[in-house]
Amino acid sequence: MIHFNVKRPDDAIRQTLIDKINDLTKPKGSLGMLESLALQIGWIQQTLTPMLNCPTNVVFAADHGIADEGVSFSPKEVTRQMIGNFLSGGAGVNFLARQHGFRLKVVDAGVDFDFPKLDGLIDRKVRKGTRNYLHEAALTDAEVELCMERGAEIVRACHEEGCNVISFGEMGIANTSTSSLWMHFLTGIPLDQCIGAGSGLDNEGIRHKIDVLSRAKANYNGDGSVMSMLTYFGGLEMDMAVGAMLQAAELNMIVLVDGFIMTNCMLAASKICHDVLCYAIFGHQGDESGHKMTLDALGAKPILNLGLRLGEGTGAICAYPIVDSAVRMINEMNTFSKASVTKYF
């Protein structure tokens, strides 16, 4: 099994960071979440003057065998079609990446399609979609290992390009089904509370999704561990994201966490190494059923709540300007002594 050396940042600097933040020309605590974000980022980077360099969003794309059971409003071919949309710059994540200065990387983790050579598409395909976990394990142990290794490889390349703040998105029809099963097994929340509309199911469609996933759960004979989830109910793009998150934390990078699916990937990563959560900033609370409960299970405080449920990394990128504001606050505001202002708290 691939091993990640994720360590909790040294706490020795925390009080000095708190003192600096409290000495800025404002009442103590008056900038709210900007203060807690600045503290976290300075703690991660072990500096009183943190920096955000080369923000990057990686979209992992793959297909899911469970899509054959009609658990998604969208047909499976949308996964491969959206690859072209990402590469042409026309998707939701594209305009946000342009707006906020993110590099965008698109990774074929396991799309059920033979792409020609396309500029901008990073080929890390492990297999052409997962097996249908209604009937059998989605992946083998070796395939999970390869996914995590390839996710980690992508992050190392981003780090070598100067990136120290990274977000992850996904594209994979039916991956909310996989996320719901991970959520259920890793939190203990009843399965029906973990299942939502995904890309647009109506009430009848949600009932069908609950029926299919309940039968998949009944057929499962694993031990309920995180590695069992990554294998039996695995998603190629999701397993790759888990490896990517752990590698980013090992490299002391800030990980901006997107919506329901990526939050469940962070949940899985935290079950492998709890200290990965030190590096996580949760971008938003999405509109997918179960997302708030997963965030609550992690003790996470998301920055935004805009009713988003697109995925792709969109919510994480939307939250980035707030993170940038936190860094600007600690670096650019005057202290009371420097500004010759009497402390007024």
Residue 274 pLDDT greater than 90, yes or no: yes
Which residue intervals of the chain bear CATH 3.40.50.10210? 56-323
Q: What is the domain class of 56-323 according to CATH?
A: alpha beta
Going by C-alpha positions, the residue among 70, 323, 305, 315 that lies closest to residue 205 is: 70
Q: How far is it, in rounded angstroms, from Cα 127 to Cα 109? A: 8
Which residue intervals of the chain bear CATH 1.10.1610.10? 11-51+329-339
252: helix, coil or strand? coil
312 is catalytic: yes
Domain 11-51+329-339, classified CATH 1.10.1610.10, yes or no = yes
Residues 6+ apart with CB under 8 A from 179: 238, 260, 261, 264, 290
- Phi then psi for residue 137, to 5 deg, are -60, 140
Residue 323 pLDDT greater than 80, yes or no: yes
Question: What number is the average pLDDT over the span 287-298?
Answer: 93
The tens digit of pLDDT for each residue in 107-133 reads: 999 999 999 999 999 999 999 999 999
Pairing of strands 254-257, 165-171: parallel
Selecting among 237, 288, 312, 332, the annotated active-site residue is: 312
The tens digit of pLDDT for each residue in 40-64 reads: 999 999 999 999 999 999 999 999 9
The tens digit of pLDDT for each residue in 186-243 reads: 999 999 999 987 767 888 888 999 999 999 999 999 999 999 999 999 999 999 999 9
The tens digit of pLDDT for each residue in 27-44 reads: 999 999 999 999 999 999
